[in-house]
Amino acid sequence: MERLSVSTRKRREMVEITSLVAKTAKGSGVQEGCCLVFVPHTTCGLTINENADPSVSDDILRTLEKLVPARGDYRHTEGNSDAHVASTLVGHSVLVPIHKGNLVLGTWQGIFLCEFDGPRNRQVWIKMLPSIQDQPVEL
């Protein structure tokens, strides 16, 4: 399992990690299968969305902030309840197909770490799940 580091710079931010994940997946040598991308945190998440126009990420973050305001009637006393809730709405992992040795995504898709309580240093775990037919048995 690969454990990568990603630094975030703002409290709420979407950081694209597509090339980092693609490079790690390629380096694994897995030809067919899937790649699990997982964050071991509870105040950030992972999503897939458009990476061509950065205003899409802005709209996602701003909508989440409206739905789950930073200040609200929360019981958790650390001041980051919104970040916990947003991470559950977005999710903590994405699973992406590997085909012919490469991560395959749609034309407009990128993988983003969604920071909801930064800036922080975050870990991104990558676990390859090879399909069996791609692994010749050497006798």
In the stretch 20-59, what mask flags binding to a copy of itself with x, by CB under 8 A?
Answer: ------------xxx-x-xxxxx----xxxx--x-xx-xx
Instruction: Classify residue 37 as left (phi > 0), alpha (psi -120 to 50) or beta.
Output: beta
Shortest distance (Å) from residue 25 CB to a copy of itself: 13
Beta-carbon-side half-sphere exposure of residue 19 (alpha carbons within 13 Å)? 2
Name which of 5 and 72 has its Cβ closer to a copy of itself.
Answer: 72
71 contacts a copy of itself (rule: CB under 8 A)? no
C-alpha angle 1-103-52 in degrees, rounded to nearest 5: 120
The label of the residue with tokens 């790690």 reads 24
Residue 110 host element (H or E):
strand 109-115
Q: State the residues that interact with a copy of itself by CB under 8 A.
A: 1, 32-34, 36, 38-42, 47-50, 53, 55-56, 58-60, 62-64, 67-68, 72-78, 81, 84-85, 87-97, 99, 104-109, 123, 125, 127-133, 135, 137, 139
